[in-house]
Amino acid sequence: MAVDGYAAIDRARVLLLEAALDGTLWPEALSAVAAACGARSGQLIDVRSDGGVGVHWLTEVSEGFVEEVEAFGLANPVVNPRMRIGAGAPLMKAVADQDYVDAETRARHPIYAELFDVHDLWFNCQVVVRRDGDRLTRMSVSRTRRQGPMDAEAFRAFDALAPYTEAAVRFQSTLDAARLGAVVMAFDAVSAAAYLLDEAGRVVATSAGGESLAASADIVRLQGHDLLPARPEHHAAFIECIGRAGAAARSGVVALNPPLTLWSVNGDRQMAFDIQPLPLARTSLAHGPAVLVLARPKQQPAVAPADLLIQRFALTPAEAAVALHVAEGDALADIAEARAVSMGTVRSQLQSIYAKMDLHRQAELVLAIRALV
């Protein structure tokens, strides 16, 4: 290897170590890695098992190309053979296009003709530097058509720099995780029930109060990495708020959600959930938080009995009125006459009330409403 080649490797090593401490230096470090390998572009991408993309740097490409290639399916192994081969390669094993891509493969996958070739990213060499649970982090360099496939000298430079990339990724991830832990400790100090979610809406950190609340499964519960209300009728609104906050975090647009009220399973208490976007750290290699979910007790309001039945059991206004009549001891015929409806309508409404309140007889309904109001 020429003296200039060793100097380029040394420069890239220094920049990789600096990037471990300062994530904003990753683009410069990756450009240096590419230069040391006689390539045009350097890349570092963090991919989740669900196909979501976290951190992604790609140097020396036109503005908007990163977003374009992600939307095309960069992280999808079916769409992108480079991702398929990388995902299955042994950890820290360099694999290059020339090892697995032939003319037929290029013709069969439009991502080559429509993106890689058009933007002169003809030849790629990659290495998976981290594979933890449901994610992998992949570093690569891409050479132009004129630069040609990776040669022996380029492979030597790539192999020399891969361990430094791995060390930088893991060191920065450790720092990011420590910062996340400090945030959780702050919530613990004030006994707050808090959950930190990533862009995909998955829980990445939980305060002690949040763990306790979810463990009871009375108002919310944890299902894998998903935080869900205990009552199914609250799911849609809760998921919508999280999705809206995640989208706001990604775009940087302020979009505040009003507090969302969730009831306990048996309807005896309620809590308010503040679901808000957080400033998203694009340089984070940890599961960076994008959404904060903060739960706080909500004082039981003075609510009209009919409204209480509607809120807690999703009764219709007509069903709530019938339920209250029954609780007062009114006969079904009298209820039908008072409401100017048929007996059949009242009986149908009563059956719906039983189903929604998980009851079977009028006596149970009377007791339930008396306990409620």
Q: What is the pLDDT of residues 190-217, one digit of tens each?
A: 889 999 998 888 898 999 999 999 999 9
Contacts of 251 (CB under 8 A, 6+ apart): none
> Rounded to whole angstroms, how far apart are CA atoms 303 and 110?
60
Average pLDDT over residues 246-271: 79
Contact 322, 349 (CB under 8 A): yes
pLDDT tens-digit map of 311-339: 888 999 999 999 988 888 889 999 999 88
- Residue 81 in 3-state DSSP? helix
Report which listed range, 30-34, 117-121, 359-363, is most confident. 30-34
Report CA torsion sign: 46, 49, 50, 51.
Answer: positive
**CATH superfamily, with its number, for domain 3-175:** GAF domain (3.30.450.40)
CA distance 91 to 253: 38
3-175 and 190-297 have identical folds: yes
Mean pLDDT of 290-304: 78
Q: How far is the C-alpha of 261 from the C-alpha of 256, rounded, in Å?
A: 15
User: Which positions ≥6 away from 222 have C-beta within 8 Å?
Assistant: 203, 206, 214, 228
Burial class (CB in 10 A: 0-12, 13-18, 19+), 68: middle
d(CA 263, CA 321): 21
Q: 230: which DSSP letter?
A: S
Q: Which residue has the tokens 């060191």?
A: 171
pLDDT band at 100 (very low <50, low <70, confident <90, very high): confident
pTM of the predicted protein model: 0.67
Given 1.10.287.1770, 3.30.450.20, 3.20.20.70, 2.60.40.10, which CATH number is that of 190-297?
Answer: 3.30.450.20
Angle at 52 between CA 194 and CA 155, to 5 degrees: 125
Domain boundaries defined on the chain: 3-175, 190-297, 305-372
Residue for token digits 């791995």? Answer: 166
**CATH of region 305-372:** 1.10.10.10
Looking only at Cα atoms, what is the longest distance across the chain? 100
Contacts of 77-80 with C-beta under 8 Å, sequence gap 24+, read 79/109, 79/111, 80/109, 80/111
Whether pLDDT at 284 is above 70:
no
- The fraction of the chain above a pLDDT of 90, given in percent, is 54
Distance between alpha carbon 331 and the CA centroid of its chain, in Å?
53
pLDDT band at 298 (very low <50, low <70, confident <90, very high): confident
Q: Which of 51, 158, 142 is nearest to 101 (CA)?
A: 142
